[in-house]
Structure 1
Amino acid sequence: MRYTIISLAAFAAAAAATPAMAQDQTDPPPAVTISGSVGVVSDYKFRGISQTDGNFAVQGGITISHSSGFYISAWGSSVDDYVTVHGTAHQELDLIAGYKHAFSGGVTLDVGALYYVYPGTKPGFAGDVSKSDFVEPYASVAYAIGPVTAKVTGNYAPKQKALAIDQGLTGAFKKEDNFYLAGDLSVSIPKTPIGLTGHLGHTWGPSWLSGPTSEYTDWAIGATATWKTLTFGVSYVDTDTDFFTPSGKNAAKGGILGSVSVAF
């Protein structure tokens, strides 16, 4: 079972927190900017499901943005071996390409696609024909009013072999697709380094992303604090489903997560 990124939004927020280099006010803004972050989380959860069996994960990413609005990113995390049917994956790499445009009035549109890769994945047994890597296009609309930003995001992974529940074990792949709809609310408390976040998402399946369950809901509330280039975070994440890992843990069970990251 695979559930990727702890949050592309969290990485974007960390990247956005990168302090700007000193620049002469008469100089034009650079056409290309590079930002990124590295950090540690107490449990890597994606859409409410642990990717690390409740253990710590090391994560990091980098984004290259052009003044036109186009950007490319690479993001990685350590994962447990149950995230793919092979049982041999220990890393996840997300390759991202997209376009972001801010309109007048506080509206921002972001569209693109993610390619989820599990480097070094090997067949778990003789005759293993399962698939791991897959593509997921996304689109989001954000609206900012002062320190408050609301965002709605849709991710749709079209039918492909990597989302098949049987993964070829029955002799033939039954391709599946998956749709995820989420709403996020963030508030920056004026004159403080504190930020508050809220998240509500719903997954439609079934597929390798959501498991045999046809659909489920996840939610989270959290807070962040920044100090120079460091960001500290704490959140509570929960779902209305169950997913038991090979160790017997319920990866969908609610819990408090902690994180620390440094932006560059």
Structure 2
Amino acid sequence: MLGAAILIGAALANPTSANAQDKLSLTGNAAVVSDYRYRGITQTRFDPALQVGADLGLPNGLYAGVFATNIKWIKAAGGKGSSEVDLYGGYKTELSKDLLLDVGVLRYQYPGNNYKQISTLNDNANTTELYGALTYGPVTAKYSHSLTSLFGVKDSSGSSYFDLTATFDLGGGWSVVPHFGRQVVANNSSWNYNDLALTVTKDFSGVVFGLSAVTVDAKNEGNYQVDNKFTGKSGLVLSAKYNF
């Protein structure tokens, strides 16, 4: 599961930009994280992940991108699938001074997964979401809405996620990033939860190191347990990312 700034791994792939592109641009990134957390939930059973991404900026504010990482949550549930490839595209524009709009579509793909066949309570893990975000100064409010079942939760099409994240530049290459998220799973309210994260980053000659404290407040932790271990338990995540 890609995407959401901060929750370390997702932040690496989440498409963000201050201004619409006037010409073609292509950038890439590579990262290692001590635990791939997405919306507070570990995707690697608290193990490290290697991640790569690329972003294509098109004229008039259009963009597209791809993100790839290893995962373990499908195999941990007894299925097949150890990778995630996310494809996204959208449009960014400046509505007024310091107010930016970003809208797009994001496809989470888990190649070769058989998650639906593991249990009658599962749907396919592959997920499609629409999203819209407003950024004012350092603060971004983002809403995501699933067009399919959400990450294999049966009959959960129409689920939503609200993300409120701020990025404060402290100078000298230091930044602090507080985050609040609210996951609402359609027709499955026992899966709803909140997640919180506080991240500090430091840019060392183009390599950005991060330390994130992550916690999840789940209504029913049993829905997110593997081997009797809550996959949203509070923890620290280390990361290093290089843009090129």
Residue identity (%): 24
Q: Decide whether aligned partners of structure 1 residues 161 and 84 sit closer, same or farther in structure 2, where only a CA change above 3 A counts.
A: farther
Count of aligned positions: 233
1:230 alignment partner, one of 202, 207, 225: 207
Distance 1:225 1:156 in 2: 32
Match of 2:227? 247
Asked if residue 150 in structure 1 is aligned to residue 142 in structure 2, the reply is no
Asked if residue 133 in structure 1 is aligned to residue 126 in structure 2, the reply is yes
Specify the structure having the higher radius of gyration (Cα).
Answer: 1
> Does the Cα contact within 8 Å between 2:33 and 2:48 map onto a contact in 1?
yes
Q: Which moved more, 1:105-114 or 1:30-39?
A: 30-39
> Does the Cα contact within 8 Å between 1:70 and 1:99 map onto a contact in 2?
yes
Match of 2:153? 165
> Does the Cα contact within 8 Å between 1:230 and 1:263 map onto a contact in 2?
yes
Distance 1:188 1:47 in 2: 23
Match of 1:82? 74
1:62 alignment partner, one of 54, 65, 89: 54
Distance 2:106 2:132 in 1: 11
> Does the Cα contact within 8 Å between 2:157 and 2:186 map onto a contact in 1?
yes
Asked if residue 257 in structure 1 is aligned to residue 237 in structure 2, the reply is yes
Match of 1:169? none
Distance 1:81 1:215 in 2: 18
Match of 2:4? 7
Stretches of structure 1 that go unaligned for 5 or more consecutive residues are 17-28, 167-173
Distance 2:142 2:150 in 1: 22
1:179 alignment partner, one of 160, 184, 193: 160
Distance 1:162 1:14 in 2: 20
> Does the Cα contact within 8 Å between 1:188 and 1:195 map onto a contact in 2?
yes
Q: Deviations along 1:181-225, whole A, 9 cap, x unmatched?
A: 1111110013x1100100001111146xxx762421101111101
Q: Deviations along 1:60-118, whole A, 9 cap, x unmatched?
A: 10000013100000001110043796611100011001001124411111000001101
> Does the Cα contact within 8 Å between 2:150 and 2:185 map onto a contact in 1?
no
> Does the Cα contact within 8 Å between 1:14 and 1:231 map onto a contact in 2?
no
Q: Which amino acid aligns with 2:178?
A: G
Q: Decide whether aligned partners of structure 1 residues 198 and 81 sit closer, same or farther in structure 2, where only a CA change above 3 A counts.
A: closer
Q: Decide whether aligned partners of structure 1 residues 96 and 248 sit closer, same or farther in structure 2, where only a CA change above 3 A counts.
A: same
Distance 1:255 1:110 in 2: 31
TM-score in terms of structure 2 length: 0.84
